[in-house]
Structure 1
Amino acid sequence: MTRWTDVARTQAGETYAVAYARRFRELAASGNEINGEALAAAALVPAPARVLDAGCGTGRSTIALSAMGYEVTGVDVDASMLDMARAEAPDLDWRLDDLATLDLGEQFDLVLLAGNIIPLLEPGTLEAVAQSLAAHAHARGLVMVGFGLDAAHLPASCPVTPLADYDAAMAAAGLAVRDRWSTWEGEPFTDDAGYVVTVHAR
């Protein structure tokens, strides 16, 4: 069982993809803003930029960015999550692929990882994923990633990926830190923050 399948196990007769999509529909119906990641991405690069939503899941950010006028490609390793995304937005560009071996032959203005994708990577693949993210960002492109740094901000049993390890992998891929916050809304980052949103560039 992989880290992701451990998190995404079927519970109470409902697949993780269905439960995940339902949770965000309920949040939206209650008046909560559910597209903070897409809004943060839009603040970095203006439409109509090309965005790769890497680890797009059920397509929440992909669909929101498309509605804002961006040209978006959504990639995920989980076919059931992509089935939900395609059902919601069949005309968008959805790809089933693994970030560690991803090779779309395309480059983007922004590569976005909007969930706890980094800590959920398979052990030993962080460096390969960093190389892949860098390869899909063009010379002036950005890589924007958010993930939890402590147990309170991660799925149960998901190990912490130290921020220093992520930075080192990105540096080896030729990318350096450009901006860093503790929330998608842009709260300043502190050393004791439990979450990070970080932007890397060449």
Structure 2
Amino acid sequence: MSERTPSQWEELAAADPAHSTWYVERFRTMAAEGKDIFGEARLVDAMLGRGGRVLDAGCGPGRLGGYLHEAGHVVVGVDVDPVLIAAAEEDYPGPTWLVGDLAELDLPGRGVKADFDVIVCAGNVMTFLAPSTREAVLAGFARHLGPAGRVVVGFGADRGYDFSQFLTDAATAGLAVDLRLSTWDLRPFTDESQFLVAVFSRAVV
């Protein structure tokens, strides 16, 4: 069995044990100051009827999954960092929060149905993955979609993962791009865009 490749997030947390706690407190402070930390979740909510099944992939401390749960959806959140999952459980009770590696995603093996209506991967999560695991993560998303499900991924430019390479990797993983945006508030994507929000469905074979 090959040795597991740690994500870049795990390497950051190993180098600085206070990093994950800083990240949790950053969003708690923003929420306490009344700042909008739920924009990505509003887009996902607009894609669903009530009671939709959502996988928050790389959920961090739970801000998106928590919002979507309150909006009436069934939410499962997965993150590799146990500190972030503990914060999600504390701040946003209700969803199912799981510690797990997105590169080895197997929710049916943990008693969770793989039939999500939307899988959302926000917060630059794709750029924190070990590069060698990117296609495996995207393929895992495809496996966990329901028949009409969609994957929504957002991340910024100049973070080590070229947009064109990402779209190629997604196609290789069995995902077909339906829509490209430059922001979570629905602005169109252009060649000059410094952020990509891509919506995929499972490719027809």
The verdict on a shared fold, with TM-score over 0.5 as the criterion, is yes
Cα distance, 1:5 vs structure 2: 2.9
Q: Who is 1:8 aligned against?
A: 13
Cα distance, 1:10 vs structure 2: 7.0
- Out of 21, 32, 47, the residue aligned to residue 44 of structure 1 is 47
CA distance in structure 1 between the partners assigned to 2:25 and 2:37 by the alignment: 12
Gap runs ≥5 in structure 2: 1-5, 109-113
CA distance in structure 1 between the partners assigned to 2:106 and 2:166 by the alignment: 21
Q: Who is 2:74 aligned against?
A: 71
1:112 alignment partner AA: V
- Superposition TM-score, scaled by structure 2 size: 0.87
Aligned-residue Cα RMSD (Å) equals: 1.8
Q: Who is 1:196 aligned against?
A: 196
DSSP-derived class of the 2:125 partner: coil
Gap runs ≥5 in structure 1: 151-158
1:174 alignment partner AA: G
Counting only pairs closer than 5 Å after superposition, residues 1-202 of structure 1 correspond to structure 2 as 2-8=7-13, 15-105=18-108, 106-150=114-158, 159-202=159-202
**The 10-residue stretch of structure 1 (20-29 or 176-185) with the greater mean CA deviation from structure 2:** 20-29
Give yes or no for contact 1:149–1:194 (8 Å, CA) kept in 2. Answer: yes
Cα distance, 1:86 vs structure 2: 1.3
How many residue pairs match? The answer is 192
- Greater helix content: 2
Give yes or no for contact 2:66–2:93 (8 Å, CA) kept in 1. Answer: no
CA distance in structure 2 between the partners assigned to 1:139 and 1:173 by the alignment: 16
Give deviations 1:152-190, integer Å, cap 9, x for gaps.
xxxxxxx42011111112112221111111111111111
CA distance in structure 2 between the partners assigned to 1:31 and 1:96 by the alignment: 28
- Superposition TM-score, scaled by structure 1 size: 0.88
Q: Who is 1:153 aligned against?
A: none
